[in-house]
Amino acid sequence: MQVALPELDGAMEPIVFAGRDSNTGKSHSLPDRITSLCSRAIKWANLRKKKNAEKRLAVTVFSFPPDKVSCLRMWLVLVHSLTAMRW
């Protein structure tokens, strides 16, 4: 997984929760990140219990290299895919 752009590898919400000490090589957890990760996991679990009408959806269109034609093409495919989904 890329560290700089993890979403390009499919990571939806990457959270770094530990790191290595460069001198000893030991792994150290980051308590505030672990709290954040646990909170996020609980929210994902609670989302399963909600009715679809209560859920919100955000769509991000990514195009590289950026140009208007490929963005429009992706948007048209996305709209078609969303309308084909069973809600």
pLDDT in tens, 9-39: 777 777 888 889 889 989 999 999 999 999 9
Q: Where are the alpha helices (DSSP H) in the chain?
A: 31-49, 68-84
User: Would you say residue 2 has pLDDT above 60?
Assistant: no
Model's pTM, two decimal places?
Answer: 0.56
Determine phi and psi for 3, rounding to 5 degrees.
Answer: -85, -40
Check residue 13 and give its pLDDT: 76
CA-to-CA distance for 73 and 23, rounded, in angstroms?
A: 50
Could you tell me which residues come within 8 angstroms of residue 55 by beta carbon, excluding any fewer than 6 positions away? 47
- Please give the Cα distance from 26 to 23 (Å, whole number): 8
pLDDT of 79: 80
CA proximity to 54, closest of 62, 42, 46? 46
pLDDT digits (tens, 9 = 90+) for 28-80: 999 999 999 999 999 999 999 999 889 988 777 666 666 666 777 777 887 88
Q: Looking at residue 23, what is its pLDDT?
A: 92
